[in-house]
Amino acid sequence: MDRRSFLTLGVTAGALSRTLLAQSAVPRDLLDDLVAANRILARQRVVDGMGHVSTRHPGRADHFLLARSVAPALVTADDILEYDSNADPVDARGRASYRERFIHSEIYRARPDVVAIVHSHSAAVIPFSVVPGATLMPISHMSGFIGDGAPVFEIRNAAGPNSDMLVRNRELGAALATSLGRHNIVLMRGHGSTVVGFNVRQAVYRAVYAELNARQQSEALRLGTPTYLTPGEAVESARANDGQQDRAWNLWKRAVTQKGLA
């Protein structure tokens, strides 16, 4: 990546020297992708001032990288912190962390195959989390990763009827991870969704297309009963899309590195 594009993401030579990049085995391109992921999700209207994306630490599989508590569109490399397996920052430098970082720590603990996670409150997805029987299903080949339907995490089962709906501790994070199971996405009743991937680019792709699929499914339901992908079609479509993920990623990244969010 050229210097101009890297600086567009909010990284200067001075800032870079203060980041974990200078202290640990985090490749520059991974840090760059994580910053871009935050910007892309904001541009695609999957996140707004809330929501977050993480990746496993490439040198320590039980640690992960996640921004400090800041709006995704404003994330720079100097905002990225390293967290341990209990979701405690290794060196917060006095900065606040996302309250729901336990979503990340507990899914990474439960799913060794997961390398990146996106949590969002994308608007079209939420209705499918609150209407019994209205399962989010893959309606097009672009959303094959949804599989045979997205499970729904009911926080009342773990936190009782009077919680603030936030996954704010390890116990609730573990309960969410259980609801996710082996799926690629889990909806969170009245809250949003969490998607997982084998790299940052895939997790971002899935978060974007989960929102698009929800919009398309809602529109189709207005017309009648949709024909959803079969389990076999979902598997094969997801496999085909995984091989093409950089086409979307490169387009989205170019928009945020060269033109900002306007």
Q: Which residues are catalytic?
A: 100
185-188 and 52-56 strand pairing = unpaired
CA–CA separation, 159 vs 143, rounded Å?
31
Residue 41 CB neighbour total at 10 angstroms: 28
Residue that the structure tokens 């399962």 belong to: 135
Q: What DSSP letter does each residue of 134-170 carry, written as one string?
A: ------SGGGGGGTT---EE-THHHH-TT--S---SH
CA–CA separation, 216 vs 140, rounded Å?
9
Assigned token pair, 145: 């990763």
CA–CA separation, 257 vs 228, rounded Å?
36
